Every structure is written in structure tokens, then in C-alpha cells.
Amino acid sequence: MPVLEIEDLSVSYGAVHALTDVSFSAAEGEVTAVLGANGAGKTTLLRAITGLVRPRKGTVRYDGEQLEKMSVEKIVRHGVAHVPEGRSVIEEMTVDENLRLGSLFRFSRRQRGPVIEEIYALFPPLAERRRQHANTLSGGERQMLAIGRALVSRPKVLLLDEPSLGLAPIVTARLMAVLRDLTQASNLIVVLVEQNARSSLSIAQKAVVINLGRVVVCEDAAKVAGDSELRHHYLGY
Amino acid sequence: MGELQKRAQGLAAKPWFRMPRQPMLRHLTYAAVAVVFLYFLTQKLSAFNDYEVGQIAFYAVALAGLTLLTGINGQISLGHGGFMAVGGFTLALLVEHTTWNVVPELAIAIATSALVGAVIGIPATRLRGPYLAGMTLMVALGLPYLTNQYNSFFGGDQGLTTPQPTGPASINPEQWLAWIQLACALIVLILLGNLLRSRFGRSFRAVRDDEIAASLAGIHVARTKVIAFMVSAGCAGLAGALLALSAGGVNSAEFPLSISIYLLAGMVIGGTGSLMGVWWGAILIVYLPTSWAPALASHFHVNSQVSANLAVIIFGLVLVVGMLVAPGGIQGALRWVAARVGAYFSPDGVPNMKLSLQEAPTDRAVHDGESVTQVGEPGVQVHPTND
Amino acid sequence: MQFFLNITLGGIATGMIVAAVALGLVLIFRATNIVNFAQGAMAMMTTYIAYAVLHQGSGYWLAFVAALATGLLFGALTQVVLIRPLQGKSPLNAIIVTFGFLIFLEGVAGAIWGSQTRTYPAPFSEAGQKIGNTQIAFSPFDVFVVLAVLALMILMLVLFRGTDLGLRMRAVAFAPETARLLGVRVRPLLTLGWALSAAAGVLAALLVVPTSSLTPNFMDVILIYGFTAAVVGGLDSPVGALVGGLATGLSLAYVGGYLGGSLEPMAALALVIVSLMIRPEGLFARPAPRRV
Ligand SMILES: Nc1ncnc2c1ncn2[C@@H]1O[C@H](COP(=O)(O)OP(=O)(O)OP(=O)(O)O)[C@@H](O)[C@H]1O
Ligand SMILES: [Mg+2]
């Protein structure tokens, strides 16, 4: 069973050590929640997995391949989809074009239509706005578009960077439910970076807590959610 | 950097001569040494060499302005020759219509070109990007057309004449002019050196490094950029006025686009951002087109078409190749060598100067090599960019 | 009145050529935030090559196609050799490199072909036409100019709006990192962008050279007019390039016709200054905030 395996990963920006010896693995059909304070290195971790930053040392393995030596495009074509921080939709393009762009490398022109319709079915608000430019979308709609654009390529690994940022609690709850169902239905490997520990732990099987660039906890999500001292110390609730 | 400063202090522990800490004093000391050296130099030179020394001096002035603009402030002008033309024509018009002394004439030439600089610089600061570059290119390309259009005012093809200023009877006029030009160069370099050490210098650099951060730190970004551009254009104007004095007159053919190119290449060769590097650039500008390129051409027996274009080709290559492989220029190379040599003699023997041509200090390859660097003086030359 | 009409028609023809140059500049600026100051000089070199092809005895159209093909190749090569190494460096370096390349190419052209002017033929008559019994200054060649640039614009539009390749190119231009995260290979697309941009420049050169004659610096002034048009229209808007080109062509024609031809370059500068003062982002810039 393929897993995403991260071993001894260290990343620095010049003199700043953003990650030090990070190791954990994420399994198929499971959501792995990555938690930690601001500046802990969560975003850096996801960027290192997709090759947007190069690690100083360590490996990222998936499906028998060493990802850390591949180009970003190659990693993505390998089935790793990354939804970056901050709803990075391409504002100058329409909703439909954004989705089309996500499907380009995986599907032929003919196959694309139905795949995109599936995304519209998953996120109905997008369907009503398919001809609109992405800069006219609300924050929540943008987040749906960003996630939809990642899903449209039918990835096997999905990396999400703070998808709930700025969303209303009810929207967040719906998003989490969609994620949970998707993960199980398509046997995805999901790495979910979140500030909102409570909601991400509710759908995660595993939790990784990062503090100052190091993994301090790597446990079953239920256990972390149940450990009030740990929660209090690192997650602040 | 901390290590570096420690080492610099170590070197300075037992000096045979300690440079003054106060920048103005230090710059004046350099200048005094330079004055003595140059005095003896001009004593030894023929009239023609005086002419060349004068040329080197005014190109150094123009280059200092350009290097302030580009290396320190991060803006670029592709048409500094245009501002030289403004200065040159201003001086010539003043000579024609007034009977003033050369000093106020030069001052007005500076002011006029700084003003034209403001007209270009203010709209260009409204956006980031290549606007200033394009607009200055337009100035350099368009000015000759303008003088053609109003040729009764600008003297037509003959242009306007600018007789050499006469000094004391005992000094021959060529030498007198060379002294004026050298004096201008030294004054400009001292003033700019001080400007760069001042609050303005720090804001110039801050704006270059990060406009957002600079504005958050309370720096008025647009104003800073306009000031830098006006100072730079003023320097070019002074250089143009001094060129007019050397040439004995101005016409539009005196300021072709090639001057702007020469200046840019001179800046890149000298080391962008280094005030001392301007001398290398000035020497290149004076000698490459008139003696080195022709010498090269006759050595390789190329035809006249090639030899006529050789200097321009070399300058183009300097810009392209220089920017791609050695953005630090000659001054950067010297600093690199000095760092290695310094390290060789330093007690721990570790080459700890980070500043090499390939590893520029920031990802901005056009970097500020700091103004007060003395050539070939190991150890103490690299200052932190943000003091 | 007839004078005014003729100036206007001339301005439209010039404006279309200027628009092609502006389009070339905009294509590159959008994708890389670089203004390619060497674009005119690259087109000039290519035109000399077309001239050589023409004097081999080939017809106008063969030379035309050869020039466009050479232009594509030249643009791609320039990007790979000169521009790619500058990635991640200060935009100043790119400006200096493209400007240095401009100088270098003009020097090389001067060394190979000398500075004497050569005449380059037009494929159609350049004589004005009689409509009814008024003579108007719009020749069959001018019609060709307008149609050729319109064809270029439509091709670009189809490419960018109608094809996957165009979708990818736009993604790279707007958001290179996001594009990579969607599996788009950025580098070859940037190369392609430079190739297309250079071809647009070559088209402009071929359209302007019959009236201006061929010298190593015949594109200098056209380039700054193209820059003017691009600034007026918004440096990142292809539609703006067309409208900016027409606005620039017409303004210059009126200045040249009523005040004197030597004032045109300075009038272009004035136009840039005024448009930056009134509408800094350009007439057609996209509403997104500027990148910092
Ligand atoms: N490009 C960069 N250059 C220098 N330092 C960086 C860069 N990106 C991130 N850092 C530093 O690396 C550390 C980790 O940053 P990262 O963005 O990974 O944190 P994070 O856990 O995602 O925080 P947040 O919850 O606020 O998004 C921080 O100290 C940050 O300042
Ligand atoms: Mg983050």
C-alpha cells in the first residue's frame, strides 16, 4: 500500500532553519493533520514535498520514487496536488478556465468535460459562476475553486494548506465533511495543514504537531484530541 | 558580517596610519591625496593628455551619478547621455547670452538637468517597473530631434560654441580646464560619498532593497526615488557641461545615443554601486572608442566597417556578458581578490569574505559595493549594506 | 480638411505598426516583467536577413516567411541564452542585458552591412488612391499593413483564448508558481512567449521598412513608439497594445503634420508622461493590484 514517507527532512532559508529532521508518514485513505503555531514550518513542509523549496537534507518518498529530486511539474504529474496557502486561484481567469487548467495534464480534451462537471457537483456554488472571473468570487468560493482545481486532476496525494482560513464555521464544517468522504471514497492520502486544530482533528486519523521546525508529536488523531494537556500546550484549546 | 568586522578591527589594530572615522574627514583625506597626485600628473602631461584627463574626470562625474541611481537606489537610466546634453546645451546657451563666470554657469547647467530629471522621474515613480528605463531612452533618442526642430535657438548643425575658460596667464588653458574638470570630479565624489553615508543614502538603499519595507519604516519612497534621480541627472548635466567646455562647443551630434551606452557599460565595468569603480568606467569610455578599439582593429586587419563598429560591439558585450557573469565589475573583482589575499594573510587563514562575483550578497546582483572603498586595500572594504 | 483626413489615415497605418511592436513588448512583460529593449534590434537583424534572401532572387513572400521564421527562432534563442540565466535576479539586470543586446546587435549589423541605407520593397503599391475625385493618402500597402496587424492580433486572441497552449501561457504569465503546481512546464512556455514576441517585432519591422529604409538603427524610434503605446495601453494588456498603438500613431501623426516631424519623439515622451500622470496603470490594465 503506497504511503507518503518523509524522512529526516530539513529545510533552511539562508540562516533560518525552518524545518529540522522532520519524519512521518501518511497512509492511503487517511487524513494526516499537521498542526502548529504560526511560523512553525507547516507551509514549508508542504512546499518541500512538492518541490517548491529544496530540502537541505532528507527524503520524500512516494510510490517507490524519491520526490525531493524531481521538478515541481514532475511531482505534480506524479499525482501530488498542492493547494497552497491563501486561495491561490488565478484571478484573471474564469472559474472554468481555472478548472480546465488543473485537468490539462491528466485528461484529454474529450474526457475533461465530465471530470469538471464532477467538481461542479461537489461544489455547487462554483457551477453557477463558471463563466465569472475568479477575482469576483468570495473567499469561500475561492477556496472551493482552489481545492476543486487540485481534485480535478484526480490526485493520489492531496496537500492542503489552511483551507479553512477565513471561512465561516459552517462552511468549514461542510468542507471537512467533503474532505473526509473524498479521502475514503478515492483512497486519497491527505495532508491537512490547519490552524483550526479542533475541526481538522475531527476528520483526521493521524496528527503531527510541529514546533519550531521539529516534530514534537506524531500520534493517532483521537489520542491527541483526547489529551487535554498536550492540546493545551501546543494547540491552545 | 560580525566576523568580518572583527577581522577588520583586527587588521586595524596596529596601523601605520589610521584613516579618520568621520566620513567627511576620511573623504577629504582621500581627496587631498588625489589632488597632490593629480597635480603632479597634469604637470607631466602634454596638452592632449590634459584633454584626456579632463574627459576621464567628467565621465567619472556622470558615472558617479548613474551608479548612485542604479547601484544604490535600484533605478535605471538608459539615456543619461540625454541629461548630459541638457547640461551641455544649458551651458552653451548661457555662454552665448550672458557674460557670467564658469561657476554659476555650471551650477545652472546642473539645476536645469536636475529639473528635466524631475519631469521624467516623477511620473516614472508612479509605477514600479521599466518605466524610467524606457522614458530615459526616449529622452536620449528624442533630444537630437528637438535641437533640429529649433535649430535657430540651438545653433543648427554647427551648434553653439563654448570657448575654454581662461585661468591665470602662467597656466596653459588646457591644463586649467583639466584642473577645473578634475576639481569638479573630486567635489562630486566627496559630496556623493557623504550623501551615501547620510540618512539619504540609507533611504536610497532601503528603497532599492525593499520598497514595501522602506515605506513601512517611514521612508517616502516616491520622493526618495525622485531625489535620487534628480541628483543623478544633475551629475550628468554637470558632466555634459564639462564635455561642452572640452569640445569647444555643442551640437546634437555631440550627444548621440552611444554616450548613454558608454555610460551604462562604464558603470557595469566599474562595478555597479561602487563610487570608486567610476574611474575604471571613465577610463574605458575615454580610451576604448578612440584608442583601444582602433588598435585592436588594425591588429586584426579588419575592414573599416568592422572597425567603425568595434567599440559599440564591445560595449554591448560588456553590458550583456558583464551582467550575466560578473555583475560586480572590476571593483567587485578587486574586492574578491583582496578578500582571498586578505584571508591568505589573516591569522585563521579562512576566506571569510562572502562577496564574490558569483555569490552576490543578496539575490539582487546589482549590488552596492559601498562607496568609500579604496582600491586594493584588503580587509576593511566591505561594509554592511544596511548600516 | 483633406489634409486632416490624410494625416489621420497615415496615423492609423503607423498606429497599427506601433501596435505590433507594443504587442511584442506586452507579451514578454506579462510573462516575465521584462521590457525587451532589444526587440527592435532583433527585428532589424532579421530584416537584414530577409533582405539577403530577397536579393538571392527569392520573391517578397518567401523573404517575408523566412523573416518571421528567423524571428521566432531568434526570440527563442535569446530567451534561452540571455534571459533564462537572469531568472530570480533583479529586473535591473534584465533591462541592462536587453539594452546591451540592442547595442551589440546594432554594432554587429553595422559591421556586416555598413551604415548606408538600403531600400526594401513593399509588396503592394505605396501610392495613395483616388476615391471619387479626392486623392487620399491610403495606399494598398497601408491596407496590407492594417490587415496584417489585425491578423496578428486575431491569431494571438485565438491562441490565448481558444487553445490549451494559450491557457497554459496565460497561467504562466499571471501566476507562474500556481501554474507549476498544476503541472505546467514553465520554461518552454517562456521560450515560446519570447519567440512569438520576436515574431511580432519582425512583422512590425517588415511593415515599416519600405517607408523608412533599412539601416542598423531604423527600429530605434519605432521601438520607443511601441513602448509609448504599451505604456498608454497598460504594459500587460494585449488589447491595450492595439488601442495604445492607434492612439500613439494618431497623436504622433497630428504632431508631425501640424507642428513638425522632428517633434514626434518628444511628443511620444510627452504622451507617456501625461498618460502616467492621468492613468498610471494604463487604459486597459487589469484591475488586479500590482505585484510587489
Ligand atoms: N521565503 C522565506 N525566506 C525566509 N524565511 C522564510 C521564508 N518562508 C518562511 N520562512 C520562515 O520559515 C519559518 C517557517 O515558515 P512557514 O511559512 O513554514 O510557517 P507556517 O507554519 O506555515 O506558519 P503560518 O501558520 O503562519 O502559516 C518562519 O520562521 C518563516 O519566517
Ligand atoms: Mg503557513
Domain of A17, CATH number, reads 3.40.50.300
Q: Which residues of C touch A49 (CB under 8 A)?
A: none
Does B313 reside within a domain? no
**Is residue A100 domain-resident?**
no
- Whether A78 maps to a domain, the answer reads yes
Q: Give a yes or no: residue A110 inside a domain.
A: no
Q: How many A from CA of A200 to the centre of ligand 1?
A: 21
Give the E-state strand segments of C170-233 in sequence order: none
Residue nearest to atom 25 of ligand 1 (CA): A38
* pLDDT category of residue B42 using cuts at 50, 70 and 90: low
Q: How many CA atoms lie within 13 A of C244 on its CB side?
A: 36
HSE-CB at A46 with a 13 A cutoff on CA atoms is 26
Cell 514517507, located at residue: A5
Residues contacting residue B337 through CB under 8 Å, at least 6 positions apart = none
Which of A82, A100, A135 comes nearest C181 by C-beta? A82
Residue B134 lies in a domain: yes
Chain C neighbours (≥3 Cβ pairs under 8 A) are: A, B
Are residues A72 and C286, on separate chains, in Cβ contact within 8 Å?
no
**How far apart (Å, rounded) are the C-alpha atoms in residues C199 and C65?**
10
> Under an 8 A CB cutoff, do C97 and B324 touch?
yes
Does the C-beta of A42 come closer than 6 Å to ligand 1? Answer: yes
Q: Give B59's contacts (C-beta < 8 A, 6+ positions apart).
A: B239, B262, B263, B266, B278, B281, B282, B285, B286
* Interface size, chain A vs chain C, as Cβ–Cβ contacts under 8 Å: 67
- The fraction of chain C above a pLDDT of 90, given in percent, is 61
User: Predicted confidence band at C195 (pLDDT cuts at 50, 70, 90)?
Assistant: very high
Q: Check if B135 contacts C (Cβ < 8 Å).
A: yes
Nearest CA in chain C to A134: C288
Chain B nearest CA to C35, separation (Å): 7
Whether residue A35 has its Cβ less than 6 Å from ligand 1: no
Give me the pLDDT at residue B48, please: 64
Residue C179 with chain A: CB contacts under 8 Å: 90, 101
Ligand lying nearest the CA atom of residue A195: 1
C27-61: b (≥16 Cβ within 10 Å) or e: bbbbbbbbbbbbbbbbbbbbbbbbbebbeeeeebe
Range ranked top by mean pLDDT from C66-80, C147-161, C175-189:
C66-80
Quick one: pLDDT at residue B210?
A: 85
Percent of chain A with pLDDT over 70: 99
B363 pLDDT above the threshold of 50? no
Residue A167 alpha carbon to ligand 1 centre in Å: 22
Banded pLDDT at B74 (limits 50, 70, 90): confident
Interface membership of C81 toward B (CB under 8 Å):
no
Residue A71 predicted with pLDDT over 80: yes
Domain count for chain B, please give it. 1
What is the mean pLDDT of the segment spanning C86-99? 86
Higher pLDDT pick, B350 / B194: B194
Q: Answer whether A101 sits within 8 Å of C286, measured CB to CB.
A: no
Chain C residues whose CB is inside 8 A of the B327 CB are 93
User: In sequence order, what are the beta bridge partners of A214?
Assistant: A211
**CA-based nearest distance B318→chain C, Å:** 8
Range of the domain at A220: 4-90+156-235
Question: Is residue B147 in some structural domain?
Answer: yes
Which chain B residue's Cα is nearest to C291?
A: B128
Nearest CA in chain C to A76: C183
**Using CA atoms, how far apart are residues B291 and B306, in angstroms rounded to an integer?**
15
Question: C interface mutation test: which of A47, A72, A151 has the most C CBs within 10 A?
Answer: A72
> Which protein residue's CA is at the shortest distance from atom 27 of ligand 1?
A38
Q: Is A196 in the pocket of ligand 1 (CB under 6 A)?
A: no
Residues 244-273 of C with CB under 8 A from B: 260, 262-266, 268-269, 272-273
Mean pLDDT over A1-24 rounds to 89
Q: Where are the alpha helices (DSSP H) in B251-303?
A: 257-270, 278-287, 293-299
Spatial separation of the C-alpha atoms in residues C238 and C241, rounded to whole Å = 5
Single-letter code of the amino acid located at A53: V
Question: What ipTM, to 2 d.p.?
Answer: 0.89
pLDDT of residue C61: 95
Ligand 1 centre from C187 Cα, in Å?
27
User: Which residue lies with its CA nearest to atom 29 of ligand 1?
Assistant: A39
Instruction: Check contact B-A (3+ Cβ pairs < 8 Å).
Output: no
Which domains does chain C possess?
2-114+139-278 (1.10.3470)
Q: Whose CA is nearest to atom 12 of ligand 1?
A: A18
Q: What is the mean pLDDT of residues C20-37?
A: 90
pLDDT of residue B45: 66
- C181/A76 touch (CB, cutoff 8 Å), yes or no: yes
pLDDT mean across residues, chain B:
78
DSSP state of B164: P
Cα dihedral A198, A202, A207, A211, rounded to 10, equals -10
For residue B291, the 8-state DSSP code is: I
The region of weakest confidence among B143-147, B338-342, C160-164, C271-275 is B338-342
Structural domain for B186, as ranges: 22-255
Phi, psi of C135 (to 5 degrees): -85, 120
Domain count, chain A: 1
| Cα-to-centroid distance, A44 and ligand 2 (Å) | 7
The alpha carbon of residue B173 and the mean position of all alpha carbons in its chain are separated, in whole angstroms, by 25
- Which of the two residues, C81 and C128, has the higher pLDDT score? C81
Which residues fall inside 5 Å of ion ligand 2, going by CB?
A 43
User: Is B169 a domain residue?
Assistant: yes
Please report the atom of ligand 1 found closest to the CA of residue A53: 1
The C-alpha cell at A233 is: 500546550
Query: Chain A residues within 8 A (CB-CB) of chain C?
Result: 50, 52, 72-73, 76-77, 81-82, 84, 88-93, 97, 100-102, 104-106, 109, 135, 149, 153
Residue A30 is predicted with a pLDDT of 92
Identify the pLDDT of residue C191: 94
Determine the Cα–Cα distance for residues C204 and B153; give it in Å rounded to an integer.
36
Give the least confident one: A124-128, B342-346, C128-132.
B342-346
For B198, the 3-state DSSP assignment is coil
